[in-house]
Every structure is written in structure tokens, then in C-alpha cells.
């Protein structure tokens, strides 16, 4: 009998945020083009560990499975990554799946990233339109400007930039690169720029843009290749200008 090739997966399990974590190991049948999500589904269909012990399916977040919804971020082989695009054949085994460490664990690999959505509120990451009535077209915009802004719009709020940032830790509530980059985006838009001050004020002070330690991990880990360090530098510039000249502008 030929033996089927196996994929060995180790998963860090945790029943809740206050429970002690433990590891479980699984041996799955290898197929071409497997990713971490397929491994987790295999486990759900047959929740038995490598040494034959019945267990529960692994809890994790996922949705689009094409790296555009931002759900399935986790730590894979020690690195923050999206599970859907983590292809098994290009990863070392045993594959190690862990929850992100900068967010509270809900259960197993699912974490609570709601702080990011709260922070989008804090920085007023929107264009304050007058209403949905028919008020004609939006402002004209050059193709160059669009090309500069577009990459920033692709942020999927996965949180990987926070996961790898040394400034995000128990002692510091740094708002993080993703949110700062959204400030840059909305300040860039002709209508958004009218309210740039409010956004800048929200990222000044403790936990704001100044807390960036320039480690540059964020820009390297971003699955969407967003120029995050450029965004931080630009928002920092705007914030300093606002701090110095703000009183002049009323």
C-alpha cells in the first residue's frame, strides 16, 4: 500500500481568553494547492488529533478566502499572515497556527479586533457628506491623485500591522499603521481635506502618530502592500504642521 503524504499541523487551542492554551497536533491528507483554511476544514470534518484523540473543530474567523475581507489573520509559523493565502507547499512543517497576540483571544484562533473599528470612529474615517440626496457629482480628481489614494483604500483591517508593531504592547495603546493610513487617505480627498483638522487632532497625543517607533515592520507584513510608513510620515508631517500653525488657521 502506498502511504498518503501527510500534512502535519499544530494548532494552539484555547477555550476562552482566560483559559490556559494548549497545543494539538493533526495529521491531514496532503492535496495539491492546500492552504491553512483547507487544513482547518479537514480538522472540522474529522476532529481527531494525530494520536487518535477526539477533539473539537478549531474555531477561527474566515469569510472571503481570497484575501480581501481581512477575517482570517492569524500567526502562521510565527508570522502574522492571512490563512487563506497561506499555501501549505510553501510553508515549513509542522505548520504552526496560533492566534494573534495583540488582540484578546475569543477562542482558539479567533480574536477580537473590534478596537480597530473603534479607532476608525475615533479618527472620523469618512467623508462627511450632506446626505444621500441627489447633489450632483463629487469633486474632480486627477488620475495621479487617484493612483496615489487607491492603494490606501485597499486596507482590509486585518490587523497584521498591529501584530508586528513593537509599539503595540501592554504598556502602549498605539493606534497603529492601518488607522493612520486611513487618516492620510481621507485628508487627501478634496472634501475630506476640509475636515483634516479633526482627524489630525485625533491622532495627536498619547497612542497617536508620534508613538510610531519607526520599526517599519508594518510595511513589510502588510498583505496588500500598502505604503504604511509613507502614510505615517505624511500624517506625522500634517500633525506637526497642525500643532505649530493650528492656532493661526483658527
Partner 1 sequence: MREPKISIIGGGLAGLMAAIRVAESGVPVDLFSIVPVKRSHSVCAQGGINAAKNTKGEGDSTWKHFDDSVFGGDFLANQTPVKNMCEAAPGIIDLLDRMGVMFNRTPEGLLDYRRFGGTLFHRTAFAGATTGQQLLYALDEQVRRFEAEGKVRKFEGWTFLSAVIDESRICRGICAMDLRSTEVRTFPADAAIFCTGGIGAIFGRSTNSVVCTGSAQGSLFLQGVDYANGEFIQVHPTAIPGEDKLRLMSESARGEGGRVWVPKRAGDTRAPLSIPPKERFYFLEEWYPKYGNLVPRDIATRAIHKIVFEMNLGIADEAAVYLDLTHIPRETLDHKLEGILDIYEKFLGVDPRIEPMKVFPGMHYTMGGTWVDNENQATNVPGIYAAGECEYQYHGANRLGANSLVSCIYGGMVAGPAAVKYARNLEKGCDSVPADIFDRERARQQEINDRLLHQDGTENPITIWKEMGQIMTEHVTVVRYNKNLEKADAQLQALLERYRKIDLSDRTQWSNQTLNFARELENMLILARVITLGALARDESRGAHYKPEFPERDDRNWLKTTRAKWTGGIQLSYEPVDISHIPPRARRYDVSK
112 vs 215 by CB, closer to partner 1: 112
In the complex, what is the shortest distance from the CB of residue 35 to partner 1, in angstroms, rounded to a whole number?
Answer: 7
In the complex, what is the shortest distance from the CB of residue 240 to partner 1, in angstroms, rounded to a whole number?
Answer: 25
112 vs 206 by CB, closer to partner 1: 112
27 vs 120 by CB, closer to partner 1: 120
Cell numbers found for residue 208: 497617536
Residue 207: name the closest of 239, 159, 238, 175 by CA: 175
In the complex, what is the shortest distance from the CB of residue 162 to partner 1, in angstroms, rounded to a whole number?
Answer: 15
40 vs 212 by CB, closer to partner 1: 40
- As a whole number of angstroms, the distance between CA 98 and CA 110 comes to 9
**CB 179 within 8 Å of CB 195:** no
**CB 94 within 8 Å of CB 86:** no
Alpha-carbon separation of residue 234 from 24, 177, 185, 209, 222 (angstroms): 45, 12, 10, 10, 18
In the complex, what is the shortest distance from the CB of residue 88 to partner 1, in angstroms, rounded to a whole number?
Answer: 11
- As a whole number of angstroms, the distance between CA 112 and CA 223 comes to 20
In the complex, what is the shortest distance from the CB of residue 140 to partner 1, in angstroms, rounded to a whole number?
Answer: 4
61 vs 211 by CB, closer to partner 1: 61
Residue 168: name the closest of 44, 89, 8, 160 by CA: 160
Residue 71: name the closest of 85, 89, 57, 58 by CA: 85
**Residues at the contact surface with partner 1, assessed by CB under 8 A:** 15-16, 31, 33-35, 37-38, 41, 44-47, 54-57, 59, 61-71, 84-85, 87, 106-107, 110, 113-114, 117, 120-121, 124-129, 131-132, 134-138, 140-143, 145-147, 149-150, 153-154, 156-157, 186, 189, 191-192
Amino acid at each position: 500500500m502506498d502511504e498518503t503524504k501527510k500534512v502535519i499541523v499544530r494548532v494552539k487551542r484555547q477555550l476562552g481568553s482566560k483559559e490556559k492554551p494548549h497545543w494539538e497536533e493533526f495529521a491531514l491528507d496532503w492535496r495539491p494547492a492546500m492552504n491553512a483554511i483547507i487544513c482547518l476544514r479537514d480538522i472540522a470534518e474529522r476532529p481527531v488529533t494525530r494520536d487518535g484523540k477526539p477533539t473539537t473543530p478549531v474555531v477561527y474567523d474566515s469569510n472571503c478566502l481570497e484575501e480581501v475581507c481581512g477575517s482570517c489573520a492569524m500567526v502562521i509559523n510565527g508570522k502574522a499572515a492571512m490563512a487563506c493565502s497561506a499555501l501549505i507547499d510553501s510553508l515549513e512543517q509542522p505548520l504552526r497556527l496560533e492566534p494573534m497576540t495583540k488582540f484578546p483571544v475569543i477562542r482558539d484562533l479567533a480574536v477580537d479586533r473590534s478596537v480597530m473599528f473603534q479607532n476608525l470612529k475615533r479618527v472620523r474615517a469618512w467623508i462627511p457628506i450632506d446626505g444621500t440626496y441627489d447633489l450632483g457629482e463629487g469633486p474632480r480628481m486627477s488620475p495621479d491623485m487617484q493612483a496615489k489614494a487607491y492603494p490606501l483604500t485597499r486596507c482590509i483591517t486585518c490587523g497584521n500591522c498591529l501584530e508586528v508593531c513593537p509599539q503595540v504592547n501592554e504598556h502602549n495603546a498605539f493606534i497603529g499603521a492601518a488607522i493612520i493610513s486611513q487618516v492620510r487617505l481621507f485628508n487627501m480627498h478634496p472634501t475630506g481635506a476640509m475636515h483634516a483638522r479633526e482627524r489630525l487632532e485625533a491622532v495627536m497625543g498619547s497612542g497617536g502618530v508620534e508613538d510610531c517607533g519607526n520599526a517599519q515592520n508594518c510595511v513589510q507584513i502588510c498583505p496588500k502592500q500598502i505604503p504604511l510608513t509613507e502614510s505615517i510620515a505624511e500624517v506625522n508631517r500634517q500633525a506637526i504642521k497642525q500643532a505649530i500653525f493650528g492656532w493661526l488657521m483658527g
